[in-house]
Amino acid sequence: MTASPEEEGALLRLALAQGVTIPRLLVESALAQDAGETASERRATITKLYELHRLLAAISNNVNQIAKATNATRELHPETFATLAAVRKTAMQIDELTDELSLT
């Protein structure tokens, strides 16, 4: 059985989106029917989680530095609000990723 040009185009778009070849996409899709996700999707999710982990580590370092400076001077420093905004943004990203994972 051969794929129609439309099917081949759809497969190519999916493969490119996942960063794999069409044969790899087909193998992963066939094997993932029970799991509900492909290995490429799992790798993308893990990569996103590592990115969020690194971001949280950097933010927590900033929070510690700000807390130390605030305790020493008893004044809020300008970085405080930007760092707290980064905390909120990262928390929202984690919530979004968690929501995505709960739908699969």
- The rounded distance, in Å, linking the Cα atoms of 20 and 12 is 9
d(CA 57, CA 49) in angstroms, rounded, equals 12
22-31 CB contacts, 8 Å cutoff, 24+ apart: none
Q: Which pTM was predicted?
A: 0.52
pLDDT tens string, the chain, 104 residues long: the values are: 688 888 889 889 988 888 888 888 888 777 766 656 666 777 788 788 888 888 888 888 888 999 999 999 999 888 888 888 988 888 888 888 877 776 65
Is residue 77 within 8 A of residue 66, CB to CB? The reply is yes
Structure tokens belonging to residue 60: 């927590």
